[in-house]
């Protein structure tokens, strides 16, 4: 039978594991060209049709406040990694699209970044544990 103590204990374990892994991965992030948060934006754009998304939809995938995301997008656009386009369905809206230069940078950084993730997560869990972890995390996220 589940208790509040069990739920809180599980939550604290998950939270502390996430913090520990993220600190290590952030410290090992392989690029001086972009930050981990900028990489996260590029990563999420690569997963979208046309490699584009409205800022409010992008914000659902990342852990930044809207004003911080807007400044980050402006920096990426200024460096040619994303472009800001008018939203054809909303005259007041904007679409953020990954440029070819942004995609090339993402791919270059992703190869090294995956090595860090593999070393920090993949080397500590076997294949069954990795599959179980992914399933449990997906279950916790639900429709989020």
- Determine the Cα–Cα distance for residues 66 and 63; give it in Å rounded to an integer: 9
Confidence of residue 127 (pLDDT cuts 50, 70, 90): very high
pLDDT at 142: 83
Q: What is the mean pLDDT of the chain?
A: 91
- Can you read off the two tokens belonging to residue 21? 């892994």
Confidence of residue 30 (pLDDT cuts 50, 70, 90): confident
Question: Does the domain formed by 4-141 have CATH 1.10.10.10?
Answer: yes
pLDDT tens digits, one per residue of 53-79 = 999 899 888 877 778 889 999 999 999
Confidence of residue 143 (pLDDT cuts 50, 70, 90): low
Q: Report which of 5, 2, 99, 8 is spatially closest to residue 45, judged by C-alpha positions.
A: 99
Q: What is the pTM of this model?
A: 0.83
CB 75 within 8 A of CB 102: no
pLDDT at 85: 95
Instruction: State percent of the chain over pLDDT 70.
Output: 98
Domain extents in the chain: 4-141
- Determine the Cα–Cα distance for residues 95 and 84; give it in Å rounded to an integer: 6
pLDDT at 67: 83
- The secondary structure of the chain in percent helix, strand, coil, rounded to multiples of 5, reads 65, 10, 25
- Can you read off the two tokens belonging to residue 116? 């860090």
pLDDT tens digits, one per residue of 66-119 = 788 899 999 999 999 999 999 988 888 999 999 999 999 999 999 999 998 998
């Amino acid at each position: 039978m589940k208790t509040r103590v069990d739920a809180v204990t599980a939550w604290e374990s998950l939270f502390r594991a996430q913090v520990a892994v993220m600190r290590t991965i952030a410290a090992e992030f392989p690029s001086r060209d972009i930050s981990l948060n900028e990489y996260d934006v590029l990563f999420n754009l690569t997963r979208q049709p046309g490699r584009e998304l409205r800022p409010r939809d992008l914000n659902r995938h990342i852990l930044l406040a809207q004003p911080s995301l807007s400044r980050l997008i402006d920096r990426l656009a200024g460096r040619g990694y994303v472009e800001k386009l008018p939203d054809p369905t909303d005259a007041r809206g904007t679409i953020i699209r990954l440029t070819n230069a942004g995609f090339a940078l993402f791919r270059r950084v992703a190869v090294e970044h995956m090595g860090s993730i593999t070393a920090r997560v993949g080397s500590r869990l076997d294949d069954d544990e990795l599959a179980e972890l992914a399933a449990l995390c997906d279950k916790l996220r639900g429709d989020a």
